[in-house]
């Protein structure tokens, strides 16, 4: 009888222990994929899962991961990993409890800092209603919030312009914590890189507008615009810009704009959601064309590719800029003569809103000075086609 009780006790103890979670990742393409993003719903993980007492392993190798808020609602909802794959490789991973995790290299970062020492992180500040760049420069480092990874960086002008600019990088290190502080000049080439884009009154590097009827309206003068930090690395970084009370004719819209980036990529992802749509609106975004005379257009792997390639960087080097848009999200190219309120020097495209009133696209910035391979148009074109295939054929996930 005692023996049976002992066996029962051991069985109950074993059943109460948290089991390892195993899953399988498959590369469906016939080429190598480096720093491939993988998103795993937290609902698939143990109820008591947290990022300090669990780790992810491929055999004995620990795989870095980050718990993120992907949809910007304030709650963590996904595990995010960056995984390297050989062609058609299948990788088995285990999530299991550990006493401690290995330190992770920081590969993505968000920075919104005060212009005055000690350059504290900014929260809860409303967007400036002026378009005077001097006022923004006197208040904010880099004139507004910026986001980076180990390849490239971007910034948003936190004033009425609401444009998006590019910092080209020559280092894998995170640099935004020091860019713009006293004694530095990000318009001049330095060891880390520089501001490489002239934006003016364009949409720059993928800023947004809305078309209603026969006119396009840039998102530049909402009643109330705010910033929120969502994720701050080490692998994945994102921020949210909220524009409330944006008026077009007799309509009012609330707009949520999530900008995200992860390690190893040359692009950021833009997700735009709008409350108040009547059904006849289009999202509009685009690429500055101040120093480019041609828009390249390709349709590969159910993805629309729009790109410019010219000596359009501020250091007079080659700069490839591109938007990658899913066929289902794409509507049409905007003709040069189409009326746009205050938008100049921009190749514009229209995007559809889906059933959730949102739309998304990827914006690429590929600078010759930072990565010499991009001095070649053929390489840039092949690079974009490969990224279209990667987007169309994501890594396959299955649980054991």
Q: What is the mean pLDDT of the segment spanning 297-312?
A: 97
Give pLDDT, residue 134: 87
Q: What is the pLDDT of residues 383-396, one digit of tens each?
A: 999 999 999 999 99
Q: How confident is the model at residue 210 (pLDDT cuts 50, 70, 90)?
A: very high
pLDDT score at 278: 96
Residue 5 sits at φ, ψ, to 5 deg, of: -65, -40
- The whole-number average pLDDT for the span 87-94 is 97
pLDDT above 70 (res 7): no
In the block, tokens 């078309």 appear at 211
Residue 229 pLDDT exceeds 90: yes
**What is the rounded average pLDDT of the residues 359-385?**
97
d(CA 319, CA 67): 33
Pick the CATH number of 108-392 from 3.40.720, 2.70.98, 1.10.287, 3.30.300: 2.70.98
Cα distance between residue 233 and residue 104, in whole Å: 10
Query: Is the confidence at residue 14, as pLDDT, over 80?
Result: no
**pTM tops 0.85, yes or no:** yes
Question: Is pLDDT at 16 greater than 80 in this prediction?
Answer: no
Stretch 255-274: mean pLDDT, rounded? Answer: 98
Whose structure tokens read 């559809």?
352
- Whether the CB-CB separation of 230 and 258 falls below 8 Å is answered with yes
pLDDT at position 400 is 76
Mean pLDDT of 372-387: 97
Give the Cα separation of 147 and 368 in Å (integer). 20
pLDDT at 139: 93
Minimum mean pLDDT range among 83-87, 113-117, 135-139? 135-139
Q: What is the rounded CA–CA span in Å between residue 66 and residue 70?
A: 11
For 271-291, letters b (16+ CB in 10 Å) and e give bbbbeeeeeebbbbbbbbbbb
Say whether pLDDT at 19 is over 50. Answer: yes
pLDDT on residue 388: 98
- The sign one gets for the Cα dihedral 150, 124, 195, 255 is positive
User: What confidence score (pLDDT) does residue 46 get?
Assistant: 79
- Would you kindly state where each structural domain of the chain is located, as residue ranges? 18-101, 108-392
> How far lies 370's CA from each of 26, 74, 109, 154, in Å?
31, 35, 18, 14
Architecture label for domain 18-101: Sandwich (2.60)
What the block records as the tokens of 75 is: 């709650």
Check residues 224 and 209 and name the one with the higher pLDDT. Answer: 209
Q: Which of 298, 257, 297, 289 is nearest to 274 (CA)?
A: 257
Whole-number Å distance between alpha carbons of 128 and 379: 41
pLDDT score recorded for residue 49: 82
* Span 130-142, average pLDDT: 89
Structure tokens at 41: 């719903």
Q: Is the pLDDT score of 114 beyond 70? A: yes
């Amino acid at each position: 009888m005692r023996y049976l009780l002992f066996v029962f006790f051991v069985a109950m103890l074993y059943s109460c222990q948290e089991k390892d979670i195993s899953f399988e990742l498959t590369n469906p393409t016939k080429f190598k994929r480096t720093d491939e993003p993988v998103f795993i719903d937290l609902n698939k993980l143990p109820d008591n899962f947290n990022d300090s007492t669990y780790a992810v392993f491929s055999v004995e190798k620990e795989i870095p991961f980050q718990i993120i808020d992907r949809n910007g609602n304030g709650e963590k909802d996904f595990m995010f990993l960056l995984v390297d794959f050989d062609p058609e490789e299948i990788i088995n991973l285990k999530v299991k409890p550990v006493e401690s995790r290995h330190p992770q290299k920081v590969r993505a970062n968000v920075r919104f800092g005060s212009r005055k020492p000690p350059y504290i992180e900014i929260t809860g500040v409303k967007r400036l209603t002026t378009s005077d760049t001097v006022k923004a420069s006197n208040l904010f480092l880099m004139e507004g919030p910026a986001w980076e990874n180990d390849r490239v960086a971007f910034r948003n002008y936190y004033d009425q312009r609401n444009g998006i600019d590019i910092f080209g990088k020559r280092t894998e290190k995170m640099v935004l914590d020091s860019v713009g502080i006293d004694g530095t000049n990000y318009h001049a080439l330095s060891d880390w890189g520089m501001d490489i884009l002239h934006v003016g009154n364009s949409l720059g590097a993928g800023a947004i507008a809305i078309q209603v009827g026969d006119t396009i309206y840039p998102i530049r003068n909402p009643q109330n615009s705010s910033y929120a930090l969502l994720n701050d690395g080490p692998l994945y970084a994102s921020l949210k810009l909220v524009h409330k009370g944006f008026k077009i004719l007799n309509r009012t819209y609330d707009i949520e704009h999530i900008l995200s980036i992860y390690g190893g990529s040359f692009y950021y992802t833009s997700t735009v959601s709008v409350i108040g749509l009547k059904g006849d609106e289009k999202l509009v975004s685009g690429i500055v064309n101040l120093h480019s005379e041609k828009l390249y257009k390709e349709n590969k792997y159910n993805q629309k590719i729009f790109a410019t390639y010219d000596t359009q960087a501020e250091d007079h080097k080659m700069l490839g800029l591109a938007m990658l848009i899913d066929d289902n999200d794409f509507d049409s190219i905007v003709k040069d003569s189409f009326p746009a309120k205050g938008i100049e020097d921009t190749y514009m495209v229209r995007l559809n809103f889906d059933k959730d009133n949102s739309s998304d696209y990827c914006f690429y910035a590929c600078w010759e000075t930072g990565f010499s391979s991009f001095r070649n148009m053929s390489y840039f074109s092949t690079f974009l086609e490969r990224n279209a295939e990667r987007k169309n054929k994501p890594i396959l996930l299955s649980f054991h």
